[in-house]
A and B are shown apart, each in its own frame.
Chain A
Amino acid sequence: MTAQTGLQPDVRAPSKGLGRASSAERVTGKLFEVLLFACLGFGLLVLVVLLSDVIRDGLPRFNLDLVRNMPSTRPLRAGIQSAMMGTIWVIVTVAAITLPLGIAAAVYLEEYADKTRWYNRLIELNIQNLAAVPSVVYGILGLAFFARGPLDLGGSVLTIALTLSLLVLPIVIISCREAIRAIPTSIREGSLALGATRLQTVRRQILPNAIPGTATGSILALSRAIGEAAPVLLVAGGLIFITSNPSDLLSQATVLPIQIFNYVGRPQDEFRTVAAAAIMILLLILLLMNAAAILIRNKYQRKW
């Protein structure tokens, strides 16, 4: 739906029950506004309660030992080092897979694809539908093809990264397309008119100008991948402790959300404290990534 101005208002709907506002109507009007604000306020309140609950629970264990220690069944020694390293390995791999593929797909769809061809429309529709598939279904895909089945990579860094890559690829493509679409056609026409080929236009005009938007969208997509637990749970399990950091793409790995899930599920209260402290670390990482995304957007975004 797009906003259009300067149209005739549709008089059918409002004609019923309109008239000058009485004072009673003004009171109910104000009440209505307050009620609506309360709906919004509730969301914000929950956010505050959630954060303070996590901080209150986790603060006693929020220290360097948490990131220095490996996961352990002894709650006072339990840490998250292997999970943090696992998250870093996984996310770098996901970025290495999804960025080139996502940008390439976005460039194709925006700059090359003939929208009247059925296969291009199919790709387009398909990307939209993939974004609505539950994340746990990607876990099933990863389980059948990457963890077991043909590749049989077990719960390795590569398995987790491949699964999460397929999950966030549609998001990366959609945000890259938006960044490319924001570049005015006159830039393309100017470049082509000067004799540049299509590829030269893409390389020297489109891609450089799309970098800020692409970077912002990609960082947000990667932060989605960092927080995802369900698909990783399926491909890598989540009940056993992994007490060594990954050394290559094929090492068994765990990631922060999985380690948190593991600690939350344990009966002792001390583990809940560790879980809350680990959540603080996870939220801190996500906060930094989001801040970076916003910073890049504000600093480099061009108004044409």
Chain B
Amino acid sequence: MTSIPYGGRRPGPGTAELARSLRKSSPRVGERVIEGLLFLAALLSVLTTIGILVALLGGTLEFFREIRVADFLFGTTWTPLFANGSFGVLPILNATLLITGIAILVAAPLGLGAALYLSEYAGQRSRKVLKPVLEVLAGIPTVVYGFFAISFVTPSVLRPLLGEASIGIFNALSAGLVIGILIIPIIASLSEDALSAVPQAMRDGALALGATRTKVARKVVLPAALSGVIASFVLALSRGIGETMVVVIAAGSIAQLTLDPREPMQTMTAFIAQAALGDQPVGSLGYNTLFAVGTLLFLVTLLVNVISIRLVRRFREVYE
């Protein structure tokens, strides 16, 4: 059965034809096939996740056949690519957390401040210009941020400020600061969405009671949007943990367990990149180490995301 053509220019269907179209239609095999194909395309995303898990677990299981889990998780020396290397992951885990910590310290106040300005103070027109410009920061490739860290932040900012002797060309501080800059737009953009979603009536009510704009922003709007703001922090955190190019370029490739951000450090992501660059033969311990660290990285970001969902639930203010 052919269906009735539609569209303004053709003459409308006669009553007989209309009645036919209202009858239960034939099975339309073609339509079902197309729907099935579309479903397969959507299903591909699930396959991707399964692929990631299989890829990570395969190498990781091989790795733990040779290295004890406790040695991996609690060891304090990381030299896996050496002959007779040590496989204690703490130095690179510590570097990841330290650098991400610096990044959040930079980005949280700046991003939130920018978001508050955009949602509570900026006029319609300036917001329309400022927000996209800020988002340009998020569109710059991370390899460019790595270049910025090593060609500007370290030589022109950190070394003059802290003294040439105390900070090397490769250091955790420059990487942390630059990652902080690159996650500012994430925090600013998502926080601004949360702040703008606070009902205008709440602001009006507070203003009518005599509150200043500052008080409205700090004591009414910010608490009401807290869940969204915290979610933006956590999302930025997970982005920082997974960031690779900046740390590979700017933080160096020495895995050491220290809390001094002026020292060079290797993060988990930087190790993954280094191991891949070294062209380890498939199945070797060095190759499998890459997957073990990848699994840990995946689990850490997963944990952070789960925490973010929990936090959002806990702090959510429901406006009926």
Contacts and interface: CB of A to CB of B under 8 A. Distances in A.
Contact of B141 (A7, A104, A108, A227): A227
Contacts of A109: 42
A9 interface: yes
B201 interface: yes
The secondary structure that dominates the B interface is helix
A130 B111 CA distance: 24
A140 B212 contact: no
B319 A144 contact: no
B302 to A, nearest CB: 8
A77 to B, nearest CB: 21
Interface string B199-226: 1111011100111111111111001110
Interface in B184-240: 184-185, 188, 194, 196-202, 204-206, 209-220, 223-225, 227-228, 235, 238-239
Given A109-B42, A237-B277, A40 B118 contact: yes
B245 A108 contact: no
Interface in B137-163: 137, 139-148, 150-152
Interface string A9-38: 111011111111100011011001101111
Nearest to A148: B282
B171 interface: no
B277 A18 contact: no
Contact of B134 (A18, A43, A196): A43
Contacts of A112: 35, 38-39
Nearest to B106: A42
A39 interface: yes
Nearest to B243: A134
Contact of B199 (A4, A137, A191): A4
Interface residues of A, number: 111
A173 B143 CA distance: 26
B290 A140 contact: yes
A170 to B, nearest CB: 6
A132 B307 CA distance: 13
A199 B142 contact: no
B209 to A, nearest CB: 5
Contact of B276 (A19, A32, A237): A237
Interface in B110-139: 110-114, 116-118, 120-121, 130, 133-134, 136-137, 139
B301 A132 contact: yes
A223 B143 CA distance: 14
B82 interface: no
Nearest to A132: B305
Contact of B206 (A4, A18, A130, A133): A18
Given A16-B219, A104-B37, A135-B242, A197 B146 contact: no
Interface in A76-107: 100-102, 104-105, 107
A244 interface: no
Contact of A141 (B31, B55, B219, B235): B55
A100 to B, nearest CB: 8
Contact of A137 (B4, B150, B294): B294
Interface stretch (A62-70, A120-128, A209-217, A245-253): A120-128
Contact of A144 (B55, B199, B248): B55
B130 A261 contact: no
A127 to B, nearest CB: 5
A49 interface: yes
Interface centre among B199, B225, B249 (most CB of A within 10 A): B199
10 contacts: A9-B205, A10-B224, A11-B205, A123-B43, A133-B52, A197-B3, A227-B140, A230-B244, A233-B277, A276-B147
Interface of B: 3-4, 6, 13, 18, 21, 25, 28, 30-31, 34-35, 37-39, 41-46, 48-49, 51-52, 54-56, 58-59, 109-114, 116-118, 120-121, 130, 133-134, 136-137, 139-148, 150-152, 181, 184-185, 188, 194, 196-202, 204-206, 209-220, 223-225, 227-228, 235, 238-239, 241-245, 248-249, 269, 272-273, 276-277, 279, 282, 290-291, 294, 297-298, 301, 305, 316-317, 319-320
Interface of A: 1-11, 13-21, 25-26, 28-29, 32-33, 35-40, 42-44, 46-47, 49-50, 53-54, 57, 100-102, 104-105, 107-109, 112-113, 122-123, 126-127, 129-130, 132-141, 143-145, 148-149, 166, 169-170, 173, 191, 194-200, 220, 223-224, 226-230, 233-234, 237-239, 257, 260-261, 264-265, 272, 275-276, 279, 282-283, 286, 290
Given A47-B137, A140-B294, A143-B55, 12 more contacts: A4-B199, A10-B224, A14-B216, A43-B134, A105-B42, A122-B46, A136-B244, A137-B298, A197-B25, A264-B150, A264-B249, A282-B141
